[in-house]
Chain A
């Protein structure tokens, strides 16, 4: 199936740990994104990569580091997890001038 897929779907971990979320798209899009949705359902962009190059980097703690090994993949690594990092993280992709397509989200819970 053509889609944006994220793994894992659920991630439960303890404060202070380091974790990664993976995202892959097989839509042939050039641009990929990470969004954070908080407990009030508010969605905010974190990062965007175009052809492996970082183009959007919002005010996000340095503990969050995106990595794009190729234009079909954008991973998100989070160091020293804090309680406030609990959220749903969405990956998305798009082609220039076209709508963004979203993955199903990764629900991160910090204990």
Chain B
């Protein structure tokens, strides 16, 4: 089955860029997602990319997909304290609806 891995923690200074990395194992993954979870809250869909794309930009967010290496990254430009949260990478495989989540990366933004 699919296995999705992320580093557990990332600390950045306010105004810097953050890059959160994710690797997955199933090359048939069709869609890859980034979700944000603030403390005590639910999961907010940030952005997603289809497997035939290698980049997607949405305001401060840039998603890069290296399908050969099965590597996905989320870059947050001009990181703000409000960006402090857990970020989850997730992948859907084949034609199904089963979403496999990564372990989550805790982003801490320092002043």
Contacts and interface: CB of A to CB of B under 8 A. Distances in A.
Contact of B42 (A40, A44, A90): A90
Task: Report, as a range, how many residues of chain B touch the other chain.
Answer: 20 to 34
16 contacts: A33-B99, A40-B103, A41-B104, A42-B103, A43-B101, A44-B101, A45-B100, A48-B97, A48-B98, A56-B96, A96-B97, A99-B45, A101-B45, A102-B35, A102-B42, A102-B44
B24 interface: no
Interface residues of A, number: 24
Contacts of A40: 103
B42 A45 contact: no
B42 A56 contact: no
Interface residues of A: mostly helix, strand, loop or mixed? Answer: strand
Interface of B: 31, 33, 35, 37, 41-45, 48, 86, 88, 96-101, 103-104
A26 B101 CA distance: 25
